[in-house]
């Protein structure tokens, strides 16, 4: 089984690129049906979703689609769920728009819920969530995920945009942490 080493940790292959591509193509098809004619703004959450967003946008046949990118500040103040993250780099007008958030993975769901709430606060007409990966066993918030690529176990993974301490984002397959 193919393995990689990042820093001090070993990872073994968990999801092949061909399976990722199939999931992405299916998601693109679902989005085309839902979003035709809606002048949708797709927002890629950096850094992790860059590869997912790139593959998805190549598969999406929507002539009125636009894409933008945002980053979350690591910390700024606190709220009941923990911390409020600031959305950085979003210059587009959100008011009245259909927005689709592109995320690499939903784990506890706190990050995506925060982004969703902030986009609704900015006046989005509707906000849909698309995540390549979803760990259902880790979910801590009540949230509706509109497009899910693959459901995965509650293991730590890297590759296809996801990192372990900044490394591993560049791999085309997804690897999970070896814990023995």
Contact residue for ligand IMP among 106, 124, 127, 174 (CB under 6 A): 106
- Among 19, 107, 165, 173, the active-site one is 107
Number of residues binding to Mg ion, judged by CB under 5 A: 2
Residue 70 binding ligand IMP, by CB under 6 A: no
Cα–Cα distance list, 54 to 7, 49, 59, 141, 147 (Å): 27, 8, 9, 28, 16
Q: Give the whole-angstrom CA distance, residue 145 versus residue 115.
A: 13
Residues 6+ apart with CB under 8 A from 145: 106, 129, 131, 134
Residue 105 binding ligand IMP, by CB under 6 A: yes
Residue 149 binding ligand IMP, by CB under 6 A: no
Stretch that binds ligand IMP, among 34-42, 53-61, 73-81, 107-115 (CB under 6 A): 107-115
Residue 50 binding ligand IMP, by CB under 6 A: no
Across the chain, how many H-helices and E-strands are there?
A: 3, 12
Residue 48 binding Mg ion, by CB under 5 A: yes
107 is catalytic: yes
Residue 162 binding ligand IMP, by CB under 6 A: yes
Closer of 14 and 60 to ligand IMP (Cβ) = 14
Token pair recorded at residue 97: 């728009």
Binding-site partner at residue 55 among Mg ion, ligand IMP, none, CB < 5 to 8 Å by type: none
Residues 6+ apart with CB under 8 A from 119: 43, 87, 94, 99, 101, 127
Token pair recorded at residue 27: 């998601």
Q: Cite the active site residues.
A: 107
Site residues (vs Mg ion, CB under 5 A): 48, 104
């Amino acid at each position: 089984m193919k393995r990689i080493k990042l820093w001090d940790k070993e990872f073994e292959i968990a999801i092949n690129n061909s399976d990722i591509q199939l999931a992405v193509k299916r998601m693109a098809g679902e989005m085309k049906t839902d979003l035709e004619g809606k002048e949708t703004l797709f927002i890629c959450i950096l850094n992790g979703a860059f590869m997912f967003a790139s593959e998805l946008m190549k598969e999406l046949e929507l002539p009125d689609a636009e894409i933008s990118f945002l980053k979350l500040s690591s910390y700024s103040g606190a709220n009941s769920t923990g911390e409020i993250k600031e959305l950085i780099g979003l210059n587009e007008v959100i008011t009245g728009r259909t927005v689709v958030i592109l995320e690499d993975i939903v784990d506890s769901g706190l990050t995506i819920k925060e982004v969703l709430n902030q986009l609704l606060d900015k006046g989005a007409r509707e906000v849909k969530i698309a995540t390549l990966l979803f760990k259902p066993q880790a979910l801590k918030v009540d949230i509706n995920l509109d497009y899910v690529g693959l459901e995965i176990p509650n293991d730590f993974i890297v590759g296809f945009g996801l990192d372990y301490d900044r490394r591993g984002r560049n791999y085309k397959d997804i690897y999970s942490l070896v814990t023995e």
